[in-house]
Chains A and B, each alone.
Chain A
C-alpha cells in the first residue's frame, strides 16, 4: 500500500505575522518558513504505518508539495523524517485548496495510494478544506480531524475530534484522513537521516503536467490588522479582583 502525504510550506508557527503596509497581505520576506505543523503530524502517521504501527501493509510514503521552488526544503524535511520519495508540483501562483485538491486527485489517479493523509488545516490561510475537497473529487471516504488511525487491509478506522468529544468512523480504502493535534508527536529528523534525505528521489512537475488550471477563484481585496485590544489594569490581590468583578456585574 502507498500513502500520499501533502505538505505545505507556511510561515513558522512561532513567528508573529505582520501585515504589509500596503494591505496586500502578510509579509513573508525574510521570515522563517516551516512545514505546516499538521502536515508534520501527517508525515509522522504515514511513517508509523509503514513501520507497522497502527496496522500494517504500507510499503511506501510519498510526500507532495504544491508551490514555489522553495517547497523542496519542506519535501526534504518530510524525506528526512522518513518519507520514501517526493513530488514537487512547482508554480509561483498562490494555489487555492480546490486547485491543490485537483492536483492531488491527478497524482492519486497516477499513484493509486490506499490512503492520503493531510493536515486538517494550513495555519496560514486557515482554510481547512483541501482534504475534504480531495475526498469529494475522488468519491472516497473522509476521516477528518483524526486523533487515532487504525489501518486494516481493506478499511481504515478513524477516531475524530468533534465539537462534543470523539466520534469513530470506518472507511473503505482508499480513503482520506486529515490530522488533528493529538494524533501523534512528530519525530525530529536525525542528522544522518537529513543527509540520507538528500539522495532520496524528488521529482519535479508543474500543474500543467496534471492538466490543472490553478487560476484563483478568490481575489484578496485587502488585508488589515485586526482591531487591537487595549491592555487593561493589573489588580494587586484577590479582594481587588472580586471588587472589579462585582462592579462589572460578573459575580453570580
Chain B
C-alpha cells in the first residue's frame, strides 16, 4: 500500500506531529509525504531526511501558504490518484483538511487512530476515551488521522527521500482567504511534545494567580503549561492551553494537575501520561483516581512551597 502523509510544518521546519503520523503510515506500507505551502524548500529538504520516507511531493504556491482546506483538499485528492491512504496527524490542521479530502474521495475517515491492526483495521477512542473501538473499513482508499501520542516519532534524519514538485495551477479556489493569526510566541515546550506539563484549573481564580503560581513551578520543572477548559473559558489562559477530549491530547512523562477536578473530558486528554501528580483540596476529587501521587491541600499554600523546595 502507498500512503501519503500530510506534513505539518511552520514554514521552516517539520513539526513533531508529522513524525508520529509517519510511524503510523509506515505500518500500512510505503510512505510518501506531501509538503504544501509557500517557500517551503527547507521544509521539503528536512522532510526528505525523515527515516523511511520515499517520495516527497512538494506543492509550492501562495494558495497553500496557510494550508486553507479549500485549496489543499483538491491537491490531496489529485495525489490520491496514485496513493491508497492519506494519513494526517490529528492536529487542528489535520482535522480541518482530512475530512474534506475524505468527502471528495467518497470515503469515511477513520479519526484519531491509536493503532494499526491490519491494512483495513484500526483502534480508536470513542466517548472521550472511555471506550476503545476496533473498526474495519470497507473503503478502498483510506483517510486516517493519527493520535500522535499513540505512536513513536519516526527518526527525523537518516532517510533519503526524493523531492518532486507538484504542479499547482489554479490552486486558489477563491472561497476562502486568510486574514490573520494570533499565534503566541511561547518559549516553553509545545504541549504535545513536552516531557513535563503543569496544568492549572478553575481553582487558580484569575490569570494573575495562574501566572504567579503555575509559571514558576513550570520553570522549575522545565515544563509546558496546560489548563482545564474551565481555566480557559474564564480567560486565565489562551485557548491553545486546553487539555482534554476537545482540546489537546497529551502524554508527557509527568503531568501535574493543580486545582483541576478531573472531569472525564479533562482525563480524556491526559490519562495516558506516565506519571500523574495531583494537587487538590478535595480528597474525593476524581483526579485522585488516576493520580500516581496526590497531595490534598490548598494549592495557594502548596504550590509556592513546592516551587521553592524543588
Contact = CB atoms under 8 A, between A and B. Distances in A.
Contact of A129 (B99, B138, B295): B99
B174 A223 contact: no
B176 A147 contact: no
B92 A234 contact: no
Nearest to A241: B295
B103 A98 contact: yes
**Of listed B99, B121, B229, residue having the most chain A CB within 10 A:** B99
A72 to B, nearest CB: 24
A163 B233 contact: no
Interface residues of B, number: 91
B136 A242 contact: no
A223 B175 contact: no
Contact of B292 (A121, A125, A167, A232): A232
B129 to A, nearest CB: 6
Nearest to B303: A238
A86 to B, nearest CB: 25
A26 B264 CA distance: 15
Most buried by B among A19, A139, A163, A229: A163
Given A165-B240, A169-B177, A241-B306, A219 B128 contact: no
Contact of A17 (B102, B127, B253): B127
Interface string A170-204: 11100100001110000000000000000000000
B102 A129 contact: yes
Across the A-B interface, give the 5 residue pairs with the lowest CB-CB distance, nearest first.
Answer: A136-B103, A232-B292, A132-B99, A133-B103, A129-B99
Interface of A: 11, 13, 16-17, 19, 25-26, 38, 96-98, 101, 120-121, 123-137, 139-142, 144-145, 147, 157, 160-172, 175, 180-182, 216-226, 229, 231-235, 237-239, 241-242, 244-245, 248, 250-252
Interface of B: 66, 68-70, 73, 91-93, 95-104, 106-112, 121, 125-139, 173-184, 192, 196, 220-222, 229, 232-233, 238-240, 242, 245-246, 248, 253-254, 264-265, 271, 275-277, 283, 288-296, 302, 305-306, 309-310
